[in-house]
């Protein structure tokens, strides 16, 4: 384990040879101390079970057996198991350096190339574990040690890993794992395989490159909402890592990026190259007719393009049906009690971090007031009065979410999105914003094509209109089309857009006209 120079312990000798020293850290089940192996004259780390943790002594032996199955340069080495206060203690290699969590807490952020090199080491460690049918199940920054001199990444703490033929660690009433880095299928209590560890790796890469967990929120309920429902939009700061992160954070484990392809892409990033993205699933025919919502259609979630922001409109991974996910989580009553709150809440859209990034948390907003449907003919709509000081038409039953800069209303089937952004008029005005967004289109919107930008007026005010097609949020959903209008009113820029699958182009066009016409400012 890592030595961080923390408080002094007593000179107790255990196992007849290990002299305990400074405490290095403490987790839910054990305390880790620096120690001296007096027989071999080397520094080691000793993990002892905390007396008040309620941990079963068999858990320590189980962890030692798990690690013994996986011998790899990027996996912690267990040297010995001895008795301490009537319980087994693990004697491990001492990695001289802090954890990734320590580095991030100190404000350090890794470059894309550094993050890719870190990811390669962790991926190789996981690949070695998976080859032995061992699942780590708790890949997170605190369990990644970084050797000071070599920069070697070491995966540690296999305390909740699963091992073939061994009893799986579980505790009634307790969630096993770290929610911010746990794959959605595990959150639902479903079967978890190697793909679940790869999801966690994707989240760790985001944390290393941006400084924070991609699903950091203010409460456990908001964390779970983000994992199973919200769009994941990688930060532009991640540069060439964006495709691999998108692939690893694909919510459907069957479509998630595999280890071999992830390694190829990370190796390209580490070499300073731009990795080619990989198709994650079958593409539907773009001319397929629109159909009634199906269970698969309910898998869609995420937000759409707002003109002018870095990372706007990036393709997010397919979201699991939130109501179904909440029900599944609640059915598995062995998880933390706070999960139960999710089954009583509609999706309310906890904030997804600063515009164009994943990470920073915020509280969810309450549903806005609404009036009965009107305004878009055969496409059911309702008029909402938003808490941010405007009113407009949105799809009936739409749910509201926000990332702090943009407000998104998403239809019940996840297919149609109405967005609003209000801000001071930037240099260049509405047309400058639209032209800059269009120029960034190929980067922010995969498959960007058929784009037009034109200067116009709206209610006699300077305005600009942007329209384009792109590949959409998921391969299963297929291509999408976006209509976007921005206009200047005094010193304020209003930006309203509508996006829908290409097969529902008529609906998107109809809703866009009605939404723009219905928009009114209600607050100061």
pLDDT digits (tens, 9 = 90+) for 338-374: 332 222 232 333 323 322 223 323 323 333 444 433 4
Q: Average pLDDT, stretch 408-433? A: 92
Q: Average pLDDT, stretch 291-317? A: 33
Higher-confidence residue: 444 or 131? 131
> Max alpha carbon distance in the chain (Å)?
87
- Of 157-161, 344-348, 460-464, which range is least confident? 344-348
Residue 80 is a catalytic residue: no
Q: Beginning with the edge strand found earlier in the chain, give each strand of the sheet holding 369-371 in spatial order.
A: 369-371, 381-386, 390-395, 520-521
Q: Which two tokens stand for residue 350?
A: 């906890």
Question: pTM of the entire structure?
Answer: 0.54
Assess whether pLDDT exceeds 60 at residue 246: yes
Q: What percent of the chain has pLDDT over 90?
A: 40
Catalytic residue among 138, 252, 299, 440: 138
Quick one: angle between helices 322-331 and 220-228, nearest 10?
130
pLDDT at site 98: 84
pLDDT at site 47: 87
Q: Average pLDDT, stretch 373-387? A: 75
pLDDT at site 487: 96
Q: How far is 89 from 92, CA to CA, in rounded Å? A: 10
Q: How far is 390 from 277, CA to CA, in rounded Å? A: 39
| Cβ-proximal residues to 365 (8 Å cutoff; 6+ apart), any chain | 348, 349, 387, 400, 401, 402
Higher-confidence residue: 4 or 42? 42
Q: How far is 105 from 86, CA to CA, in rounded Å? A: 35
Name the band, by pLDDT with cuts 50, 70 and 90, for residue 281: very low
Name the band, by pLDDT with cuts 50, 70 and 90, for residue 162: low
Q: Average pLDDT, stretch 183-188? A: 86
Name the 3-class secondary structure at 474: coil
Q: Which two tokens stand for residue 313?
A: 């409109």
Name the band, by pLDDT with cuts 50, 70 and 90, for residue 277: low
pLDDT at site 318: 35
Highest mean pLDDT: which range of 165-174, 183-192, 345-354: 183-192
111-151 tens-digit pLDDT = 999 999 999 999 999 999 898 888 888 899 999 999 988 88
Give the chain's mean pLDDT: 75
Name the band, by pLDDT with cuts 50, 70 and 90, for residue 29: low
pLDDT at site 282: 33
* CA nearest neighbour of 520 among 459, 470, 472, 466: 459
Q: How far is 17 from 36, CA to CA, in rounded Å? A: 8
Name the 3-class secondary structure at 324: helix
Quick one: 155 exposed, middle or buried, by C-beta within 10 A (0-12, 13-18, 19+)? buried
| Domains along the chain with CATH numbers | 13-93 (3.30.200.20), 100-157+173-279+318-344 (1.10.510.10), 369-521 (3.40.1000.10)
- Of 53-57, 181-185, 203-207, 243-247, which range is least confident? 53-57
DSSP state of 350: -
Q: Average pLDDT, stretch 380-395? A: 92
Name the band, by pLDDT with cuts 50, 70 and 90, for residue 205: very high
pLDDT at site 323: 35
Q: Which two tokens stand for residue 158?
A: 């296999």
Assess whether pLDDT exceeds 50 at residue 337: no
Q: Which two tokens stand for residue 419?
A: 């967005």
Highest mean pLDDT: which range of 128-132, 219-223, 230-234, 358-362: 128-132
pLDDT at site 276: 61
Residue 46 half-sphere exposure toward CB, CA atoms < 13 A? 28
């Amino acid at each position: 384990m890592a030595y961080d120079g923390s408080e002094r312990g007593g000179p107790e000798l255990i196992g007849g040879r290990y002299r305990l020293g400074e405490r290095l850290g403490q987790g839910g089940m054990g305390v880790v101390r620096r120690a001296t192996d007096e027989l071999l004259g080397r520094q080691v780390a000793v993990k002892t079970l905390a007396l008040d943790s309620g941990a079963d002594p068999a858990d320590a032996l189980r962890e030692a057996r798990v690690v013994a199955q996986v011998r790899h340069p990027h996996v912690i080495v267990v040297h010995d198991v001895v008795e301490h206060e009537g319980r087994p203690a693990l004697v491990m290699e001492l990695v001289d350096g802090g954890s990734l969590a320590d580095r991030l807490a100190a404000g350090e952020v890794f470059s894309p190339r550094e993050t890719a090199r870190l990811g390669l080491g962790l991926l190789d460690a996981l690949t070695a574990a998976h080859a032995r049918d061992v699942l780590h199940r708790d890949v997170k920054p605190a369990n990644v040690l970084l050797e000071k001199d070599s920069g070697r990444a070491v995966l540690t703490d296999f305390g909740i890993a699963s091992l073939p033929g061994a009893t799986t660690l579980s505790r009634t009433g307790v969630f096993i794992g770290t929610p911010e880095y746990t794959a959605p299928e595990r959150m639902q209590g479903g079967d978890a395989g190697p793909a679940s560890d790869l999801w966690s790796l994707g989240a760790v890469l985001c944390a290393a490159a941006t400084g924070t967990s991609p699903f950091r929120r203010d409460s456990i309920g908001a964390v779970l909402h983000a994992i199973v429902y919200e769009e994941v939009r990688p930060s532009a700061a991640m540069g060439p890592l964006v495709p691999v992160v998108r692939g690893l954070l694909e919510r459907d484990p069957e479509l998630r990026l595999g280890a071999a392809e992830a390694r190829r892409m990370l190796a390209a990033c580490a070499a300073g190259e731009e990795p080619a993205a990989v198709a994650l699933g079958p593409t539907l025919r773009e001319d397929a007719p629109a159909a009634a919502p199906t269970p698969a259609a309910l898998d869609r979630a995420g937000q759409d393009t707002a003109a002018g922001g870095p990372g706007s409109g990036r393709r997010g991974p397919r979201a699991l049906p939130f109501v179904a996910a909440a029900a599944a989580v609640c059915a598995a009553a062995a998880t933390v009690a706070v999960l139960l709150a999710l089954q009583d809440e509609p999706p309310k859209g906890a904030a997804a971090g600063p515009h164009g990034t994943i990470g920073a948390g915020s509280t969810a907003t309450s549903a806005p007031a609404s009036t009965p449907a009107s305004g878009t003919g055969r496409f059911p709509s309702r008029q909402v009065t938003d808490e941010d000081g405007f009113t407009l038409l949105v799809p009936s039953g739409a749910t509201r979410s926000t990332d702090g800069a943009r407000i998104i209303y998403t239809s019940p089937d996840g297919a149609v999105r109405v967005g609003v952004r209000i801000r001071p008029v930037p240099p260049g005005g509405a047309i400058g914003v639209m032209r800059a967004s269009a120029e960034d289109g190929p980067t922010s919107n995969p498959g960007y094509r058929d784009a037009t930008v034109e200067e116009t007026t709206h209610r006699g005010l300077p305005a600009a209109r942007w329209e384009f097609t792109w590949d959409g949020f998921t391969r299963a959903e297929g291509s999408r089309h976006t209509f976007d209008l921005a206009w200047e009113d005094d010193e304020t820029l209003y930006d309203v857009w509508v996006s829908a699958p290409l097969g529902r182009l008529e609906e998107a066009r109809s809703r866009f006209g009605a939404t723009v016409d219905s928009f009114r400012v209600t607050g100061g």
